[in-house]
DNA sequence: ATCCTCCCCTAC
DNA sequence: TAAGGTAGGGGAGGAT
């Protein structure tokens, strides 16, 4: 206990997960138990049959009874495999139990046991011996049952109750490497890493390359590797039950979490961080530093303070990350895997939609990446070896890695199971430290680690990318420039899909581009923090410090796979189970909390069945939270609150595709106790109606109504124009009158409507249960739809809330609940005069299509409005009956902003293409616009279009800006986050980071178009493609749609370019693999042209070099 | 100003 | 078949 490192002897796994994975420990409900009994009986019968038929192989009769009385359960990945061991047991009269039952199993066979499981076995009063599989094979070879002592798993050698062996001392020093011996059958000392110090380049980089492998083409090697992989997968299959989705019963959740890789890595982080945090705070002063100090003392006295107070002391940071971690662990189990493309995935099917978790570098050469469907992976590399997950071994390796890191310095900040920061300032040559650490890791685990070194965390992180695979790289502060400048922004940490596209839209694609902007400009456009961080990173600066993780501030559990409910009761049942799961986690973390958040995924209306098996598909996300009066970690509390929120949302249970519970305001945070609910944004009850997915039709296109009205002749473009003209002066002071740019809705003061509005103050009062609940605002005072009750008290007058379809909810007939944004007032102003008529029309229309029942009808029996959580109450009438907005009306809005300044702010750094938008140009009729084309446009252009038509998600216009106050461009930036009517960047919209459901199949590039079946596209992903339609294939445009079944909506544009005879060539643009926003200049140009937009909107033709 | 809620985004 | 979790950062905007 004197060495602080001992405190890192942590259990890297939660008890829950260890138990989950330890089959015998899992508690099962009645129905599952029955199933298990039946299944066990079947397995035993099958086993007996196999044993009988295999008996011929064993000539010696005594051999056939050699293992009589011995009953093994095999845990985890072993060599020989489960199946082989099972076979051997059958041949020699032993028993093989697929599931672990203490009273039936005499020996647990295991090659490797993670710490948490060790703990479980240690806790058993009369533990079942845990021995390595060699005990079986050696016993058979010796034709007698050998003593188990020499085969006890090294982790358990000192455990009470396990067989002990004096002679074990001799091998004890090998103990730590024993599992490594097994990994490749070699003495670990033979596993020499190339001498990194000699391989170092001028810049300190090294790249350890394997000798030219003779594998790959090696058929025998490949055959063996495939066999091993098959055996490993089969070992897992044996344990698989028929439980696959929420309908299959309560055991689904356990099965799911036990198998989920993301759950594994997510929980690993929480666990190690919690342990570290507790160590950090509980460290007695007596813990004296070894080298260079306890983590706490280093952090408290040294670097943390130093970094903040003592000025810019030169630091040396190492970022270390295992190479293709899961894949490397898999490959380390046998030398046959070396040099062969390998991936870790549940599925091995050529059509499978299982996701690749990790692919080794050989596989990456084929373009295989994490998150890819296995079908994609196998198509790219038919010879891919697929290995199953081995979570226990990841634990073990991870633990070994962390031990090595902590032997180097206590100043280790965990990032994940395969990755950590080290502050090695003042510890000597960092290159040598990194090399030593990597060599030690290799030696101990048989897995390669790469290391990046730098003067701060950023540069160390970036260096790791250069170091991989199996190398190290030092980026010194003095020579960071060349590495940094040419880097795409997306390589910067924190810049993911969304931000990188926003940046691209701003004309920023490299770090060099980023450097051309001032910090202020970036902050203005991206938000204060994001902008500053990005600027810092672009200049190689990063003042983050290596430190132990802070206390966890939330604990959650969610499940977005396999969720299919038949009815509300099933949903609530599952939610209760989830509450149990959450509370187990809370309890094991020793915390309670006050705020419970329910998260739901609801299938988007029209969303197709997801391509991913049991996946959630394209969804609307929503969440509601309650803050309760006291801290809790009880399942009952959580389940109750969760259920009420679920009911308040009155979501069709059959449409639920994901569900989660989260606890915040934990009692570990002193501020939680005093936190009051009821302040802050008003909460909402009912969920917005589903938004639409799929090709736009007149009915479901956000502009459909307008288009329809145009056709009906009820849309008066002049109104829009006139409104614009009126608004042209763009008064700076629009906080009080005039039209507000407002994301979700407008308030209109209209005297003739004023009387219609009601109001209700809604005081928060504690409910008997201690929950802070809200009173029912009371029955609506009006039958008129679209009249909101409101507690909005800014203005003395009543207001009519006029809403346009929320960007997030761009359906037409029943406009949504406002999404987090309260009402704004607009009033007076010239436009108001023109409005009532129009508004009235809209109201009529709204009445006509009103479909939402009163919320009280939707409440379950016995559930009163008072029961609704978190001031969540009956949606206001307005919420249920929002009035569709007038686009003409809004046409003014966008023109209304600060005339030039805001324009500049709105379009601060956009490419010229996006900037050009002249209000004087006539807009083409909306009906001429092709929604699918619009959807394909770069964000900036889309934004412009939305502005031009007065649509969109509140882009660019601060709603409550005081006269003269600077417009915070972050608010403009935020526009990109809110879904415009066309702009569905986020919220599971099309412009979300494309996942499987957004992707098109690869298009084969082939010559000989005429021979291709109809609908086969030719060309590269983002180029125009030629579609050759053979005779009899019908209309090519139709063929395009049908040629890509279910994917037609991904077609961005198309145009017939040639017709000859029966053959028609069509240019098409397709969205493939996330290339949507990476359209080439020419394509964008063409898209714009095809939309019949004003010429000035297409400056790209004048400046093709721009993008 | 600061807190609160409801998101979205990112990383592993 | 297949197991698309988890936690924190951060922004917008309303309430206080
Ligand atoms: N989308 C992801 C990302 C990661 N992981 C798991 C598998 C990885 O092996 C492990 C570590 O993640 P890394 O990002 O470090 O990826 P790898 O270690 O596999 O590869 P690299 O060599 O790039 O670090 O986490 C996963 O299951 N799914
Ligand atoms: Mg890694
Ligand atoms: Mg990693």
A629-684 pLDDT tens trace: 999 999 999 999 999 999 988 899 999 999 999 999 999 999 998 877 655 555 56
Contact criterion met (CB below 8 Å) for A1007 and A988: no
A468 in contact with ligand 1, CB cutoff 6 A: yes
Report the DSSP beta bridge partners of residue A659.
Answer: A559, A600
Distance in angstroms, CA of A22 to C1' of C13?
A: 48
Q: Nearest nucleotide (C1') to the CA of residue A375?
A: C1
Tens of pLDDT, residue by residue over A261-282, are 999 999 998 777 666 555 543 3
| pLDDT tier for residue A716 given thresholds of 50, 70 and 90 | very low
A177 in contact with ligand 1, CB cutoff 6 A: no
| pLDDT tier for residue A897 given thresholds of 50, 70 and 90 | very low
pLDDT, position A750? 20
Distance (Å, rounded) from C-alpha A995 to C-alpha A998?
A: 5
What is the Å distance from ligand 2's center to A235 Cα? 26
pLDDT, position A845? 25
pLDDT reading at A237 higher than 60: yes
Listed as ranges, the nucleotides of chain C within 7 A of a protein C-beta are 1-16
pLDDT, position A115? 58
Of A387 and A724, the structure prediction assigns the larger pLDDT to A387
The encoded tokens of residue A1103 equal 């400046």
pLDDT, position A679? 54
pLDDT, position A363? 96
Contact criterion met (CB below 8 Å) for A353 and A613: yes
What is the Å distance from ligand 2's center to A419 Cα? 6
Distance (Å, rounded) from C-alpha A859 to C-alpha A653?
A: 14
Distance in angstroms, CA of A195 to C1' of B7?
A: 51
Which protein residue has its CA closest to C1' of C15? Answer: A680
Mean pLDDT confidence for A4-25: 52
Q: Which residue's CA is the nearest one to ligand 1's atom 19?
A: A324
pLDDT, position A685? 63
A321 in contact with ligand 1, CB cutoff 6 A: yes
Tens of pLDDT, residue by residue over A512-550, are 999 999 999 999 999 999 999 999 999 999 999 999 878
Q: Which residue's CA is the nearest one to ligand 1's atom 5?
A: A357
Q: Nearest nucleotide (C1') to the CA of residue A598?
A: B6
Q: Please tell me whether residue A832 adopts helix, strand or coil conformation.
A: helix
**Can A419 be counted among the known catalytic residues?**
yes
| A676 CB-to-strand B distance under 7 Å | yes
CA distances from A292 to A156, A288, A423, A1087 (A): 32, 10, 10, 62
pLDDT reading at A836 higher than 70: no
- Atom of ligand 1 at shortest range from CA of A418: 11
Angle at alpha carbon of residue A972, lines to A968 and A974, rounded to 5°: 110
pLDDT, position A171? 25
Q: Nearest nucleotide (C1') to the CA of residue A671?
A: B3
What is the Å distance from ligand 2's center to A321 Cα? 5
What is the Å distance from ligand 2's center to A968 Cα? 39
Q: Which residue's CA is the nearest one to ligand 1's atom 26?
A: A357
Mean pLDDT confidence for A336-353: 96
What is the Å distance from ligand 1's center to A1078 Cα? 26
pLDDT, position A147? 74
pLDDT reading at A1083 higher than 70: no
pLDDT, position A219? 78
| pLDDT tier for residue A73 given thresholds of 50, 70 and 90 | confident
pLDDT, position A96? 85
If we measure between CA atoms, which residue out of A641, A523, A649 comes closest to residue A579?
A641
- What residues sit around ligand 3, an ion, with C-beta below 5 angstroms? A 321, 418-419
DSSP secondary structure of A963-1019 = TTPPPPHHHHHHHTTS--SS---SSSSTTSSP-GGGPPPP----S-GGGSPTT-EES
| pLDDT tier for residue A505 given thresholds of 50, 70 and 90 | confident
Distance in angstroms, CA of A817 to C1' of C15?
A: 19
Q: Tell me what ipTM this predicted complex has.
A: 0.98
Mean pLDDT confidence for A379-393: 96
Mutate to test the pocket of ligand 1, among A272, A320, A325, A360 (most ligand atoms within 8 A of CB): A325
Distance in angstroms, CA of A623 to C1' of B5?
A: 10
CB atoms within 10 A of CB A888: 25
Q: Nearest nucleotide (C1') to the CA of residue A986?
A: B8
Of A5 and A899, the structure prediction assigns the larger pLDDT to A5
What is the Å distance from ligand 1's center to A452 Cα? 16
Mean pLDDT confidence for A408-422: 95
Of A60 and A138, the structure prediction assigns the larger pLDDT to A138
- Spell out which residues of A between 937 and 996 contact strand B, using CB within 7 Å: 977, 985-988, 992-993
pLDDT, position A142? 85
Tens of pLDDT, residue by residue over A444-460, are 999 999 999 999 999 99
Of A223 and A888, the structure prediction assigns the larger pLDDT to A223
pLDDT cut 90: percent of chain A above it: 32
**Across chain A, how many H-helices and E-strands are there?**
41, 25
CA distances from A703 to A221, A688, A708, A891, A1091 (A): 61, 19, 8, 13, 15
A357 in contact with ligand 1, CB cutoff 6 A: yes
Contact criterion met (CB below 8 Å) for A946 and A955: yes
Of A616 and A701, the structure prediction assigns the larger pLDDT to A616
pLDDT, position A321? 98
- Atom of ligand 1 at shortest range from CA of A371: 1
Q: Nearest nucleotide (C1') to the CA of residue A527?
A: C11
pLDDT, position A1042? 35
CB atoms within 10 A of CB A312: 11
A371 in contact with ligand 1, CB cutoff 6 A: yes
Distance in angstroms, CA of A232 to C1' of C15?
A: 58
pLDDT, position A591? 95
Ranked by mean pLDDT, the top range of A15-24, A403-412, A599-608, A1064-1073 is: A403-412
Judged on CB neighbours under 10 Å (0-12, 13-18, 19+), A828 is middle
CB atoms within 10 A of CB A389: 23
Listed in sequence order, the residues at least 6 apart from A771 whose beta carbon sits closer than 8 Å to its beta carbon are A626, A628, A629, A641, A869
Out of A419, A572, A641, A1067, the active site residue is: A419
Distance in angstroms, CA of A283 to C1' of C9?
A: 28
What are φ and ψ of residue A800, in 5° steps? -105, 125
pLDDT, position A267? 93
- Atom of ligand 1 at shortest range from CA of A416: 11
What is the Å distance from ligand 3's center to A450 Cα? 10
A265 in contact with ligand 1, CB cutoff 6 A: yes
Mean pLDDT confidence for A838-857: 22
| pLDDT tier for residue A618 given thresholds of 50, 70 and 90 | confident
Of A426 and A190, the structure prediction assigns the larger pLDDT to A426
Phi-psi region of A730 (alpha: psi -120 to 50; beta: other; left: phi over 0): left
Contact criterion met (CB below 8 Å) for A159 and A122: yes
A319 in contact with ligand 1, CB cutoff 6 A: no
Distance in angstroms, CA of A243 to C1' of C2?
A: 10
Range of weakest confidence among A74-78, A286-290, A399-403, A722-726? A722-726
State the pTM of this model.
0.58
| pLDDT tier for residue A704 given thresholds of 50, 70 and 90 | very low
Which protein residue has its CA closest to C1' of B4? Answer: A680
Range of weakest confidence among A385-389, A503-507, A800-804? A800-804
A699 in contact with ligand 1, CB cutoff 6 A: no
Q: Which residue's CA is the nearest one to ligand 1's atom 14?
A: A324
Average pLDDT of chain A is 59
Range of weakest confidence among A132-141, A205-214, A743-752? A743-752
pLDDT, position A121? 60
pLDDT, position A732? 22
pLDDT cut 70: percent of chain A above it: 44
Ranked by mean pLDDT, the top range of A157-166, A541-550, A762-771, A988-997 is: A541-550
Tens of pLDDT, residue by residue over A903-919, are 112 222 222 222 222 22
């Amino acid at each position: 206990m004197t060495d602080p490192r001992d405190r890192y002897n942590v259990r890297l796994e939660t008890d829950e997960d260890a138990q989950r994975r330890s089959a015998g420990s899992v508690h099962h409900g009645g129905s599952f138990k029955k199933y298990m009994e039946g299944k066990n009986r079947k397995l035993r019968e099958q086993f007996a049959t196999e044993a009988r038929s295999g008996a011929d192989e064993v000539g010696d009769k005594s051999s056939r009874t050699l293992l009589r009385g011995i009953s093994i359960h095999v845990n985890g990945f072993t060599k020989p495999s489960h199946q082989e061991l099972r076979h051997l047991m059958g041949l020699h009269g032993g028993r093989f139990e697929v599931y672990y039952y203490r009273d039936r199993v005499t020996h647990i066979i295991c090659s490797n046991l993670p710490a948490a499981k060790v703990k479980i076995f240690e806790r058993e009063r009369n533990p079942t011996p845990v021995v390595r599989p060699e005990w079986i094979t050696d016993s058979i070879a010796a034709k007698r049952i050998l003593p188990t002592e020499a085969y006890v798993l090294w982790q358990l050698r000192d455990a009470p109750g396990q067989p002990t062996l004096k002679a074990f001392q001799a091998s004890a020093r090998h103990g730590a490497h024993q599992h490594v011996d097994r990994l490749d059958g070699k003495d670990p000392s033979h596993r020499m890493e190339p001498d990194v110090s000699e391989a170092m380049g001028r810049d300190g980089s090294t790249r350890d390359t394997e000798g030219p492998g003779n594998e790959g083409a090696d058929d025998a090697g490949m055959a063996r590797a495939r066999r091993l992989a098959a055996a490993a997968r089969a070992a897992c299959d044996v344990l698989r039950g028929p439980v696959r989705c929420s309908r299959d019963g309560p055991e689904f959740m356990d099965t799911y979490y036990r198998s989920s890789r993301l759950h594994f890595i997510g929980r690993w982080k929480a666990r190690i961080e919690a342990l570290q945090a507790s160590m950090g705070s509980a460290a007695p002063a007596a813990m004296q530093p070894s080298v260079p100090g306890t983590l706490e003392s280093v952090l408290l006295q040294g670097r943390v303070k130093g970094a903040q107070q003592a000025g810019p002391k030169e630091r040396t940071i190492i970022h270390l990350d295992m190479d293709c971690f899961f894949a490397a662990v898999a490959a380390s189990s046998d030398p046959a895997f070396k040099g062969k493309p390998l991936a870790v995935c549940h599925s091995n099917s050529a059509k499978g939609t299982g996701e690749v978790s990790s692919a080794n570098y050989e596989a990456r050469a084929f373009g295989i990446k994490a998150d890819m469907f296995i079908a994609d992976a196998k198509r790219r590399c038919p010879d891919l070896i697929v290995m199953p997950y081995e979570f226990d071994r990841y634990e073990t390796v991870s633990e070994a890695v962390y031990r090595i890191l902590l032997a180097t310095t206590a100043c280790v900040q965990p990032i994940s199971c395969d990755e950590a920061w080290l502050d090695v300032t003042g510890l000597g040559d960092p290159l040598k430290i990194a090399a030593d650490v990597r060599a030690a890791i290799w030696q101990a685990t048989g897995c390669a680690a790469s290391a990046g070194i730098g003067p701060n965390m950023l540069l160390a992180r970036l260096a790791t990318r250069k170091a991989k695979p199996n190398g190290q790289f030092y980026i010194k502060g003095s020579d960071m420039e060349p590495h940094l400048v040419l880097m795409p922004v997306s390589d910067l940490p924190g810049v993911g899909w969304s931000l990188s596209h926003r940046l691209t839209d701003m004309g920023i694609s490299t770090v060099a581009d980023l450097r051309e902007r001032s910090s202020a400009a970036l902050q203005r456009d991206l938000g204060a923090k994001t902008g500053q961080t990005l600027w810092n990173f672009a200049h190689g600066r990063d003042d983050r410090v290596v430190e132990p993780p802070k206390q966890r501030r939330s604990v959650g559990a969610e499940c977005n796979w396999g969720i299919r409910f038949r009815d509300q009761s099933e949903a609530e049942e599952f939610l209760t189970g989830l509450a149990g799961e959450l509370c187990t986690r809370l309890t094991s973390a020793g915390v309670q909390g006050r705020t419970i958040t329910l998260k739901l995924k609801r299938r988007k209306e029209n969303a197709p069945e997801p391509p991913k098996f049991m996946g959630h598909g394209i969804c609307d996300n929503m969440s509601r939270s309650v803050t309760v009066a006291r801290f809790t970690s009880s399942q009952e509390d959580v389940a109750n609150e969760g259920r009420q929120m679920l009911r308040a949302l009155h979501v069709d249970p059959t449409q639920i595709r994901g569900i989660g519970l989260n606890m915040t305001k934990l009692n570990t945070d002193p501020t939680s106790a005093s936190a009051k609910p009821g302040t802050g944004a008003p909460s909402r009850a009912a969920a917005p109606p589903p938004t639409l997915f799929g090709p736009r039709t007149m009915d479901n296109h956000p502009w459909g109504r307008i288009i329809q009205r145009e056709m009906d002749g009820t849309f008066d473009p002049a109104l829009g124009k006139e409104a614009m003209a009126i608004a042209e002066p763009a008064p700076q002071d629009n906080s009080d009158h005039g039209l507000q740019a407002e994301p979700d809705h407008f308030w209109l003061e209209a005297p003739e409507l004023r009387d219609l509005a009601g109001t209700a103050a809604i005081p928060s009062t504690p409910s008997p249960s201690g929950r802070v609940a809200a009173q029912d605002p009371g029955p609506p005072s009006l039958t008129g739809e679209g009249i909101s009750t409101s507690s909005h008290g800014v203005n003395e007058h009543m207001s009519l809330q006029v809403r346009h379809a929320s960007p997030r909810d761009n359906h037409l007939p029943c406009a949504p609940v406002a999404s987090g944004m309260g009402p704004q007032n607009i009033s007076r102003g010239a436009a108001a005069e023109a409005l009532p008529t129009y508004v009235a029309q809209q109201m009529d229309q709204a009445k006509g299509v009103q479909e939402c029942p009163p919320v009280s009808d939707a409440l379950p029996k016995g559930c009163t409005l008072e029961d609704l959580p978190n001031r969540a109450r009956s949606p206001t009438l307005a919420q249920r009956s929002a009035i569709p907005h007038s686009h003409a009306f809004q046409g003014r809005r966008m023109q209304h902003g600060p005339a030039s300044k805001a324009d500049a702010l709105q379009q601060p750094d956009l490419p010229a293409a996006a900037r050009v938008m002249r209000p004087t140009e006539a807009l083409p009729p909306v009906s001429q616009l092709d929604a699918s084309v619009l959807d394909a446009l770069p964000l900036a252009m889309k934004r412009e279009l939305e502005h031009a038509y007065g649509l969109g998600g509140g882009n660019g216009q601060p709603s409550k800006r005081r006269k003269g106050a600077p417009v915070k461009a972050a608010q403009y930036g935020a526009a990109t986050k809110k879904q415009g009517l066309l702009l569905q960047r986020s919220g599971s919209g099309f412009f979300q980071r494309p996942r499987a459901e957004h992707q098109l199949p690869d298009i084969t590039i082939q010559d000989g178009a005429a021979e291709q079946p109809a609908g086969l596209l030719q060309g590269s992903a983002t180029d125009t493609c030629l579609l050759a339609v053979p005779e009899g294939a019908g209309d090519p445009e139709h063929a395009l749609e049908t040629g890509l079944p279910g994917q037609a909506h991904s077609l961005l544009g198309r145009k017939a370019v040639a017709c000859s005879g029966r053959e028609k060539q069509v240019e098409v643009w397709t969205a493939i693999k996330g290339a949507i926003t990476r359209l080439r200049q020419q394509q964008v140009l063409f898209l714009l042209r095809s939309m019949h937009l004003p010429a000035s909107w297409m400056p790209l033709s004048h400046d093709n070099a721009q993008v």
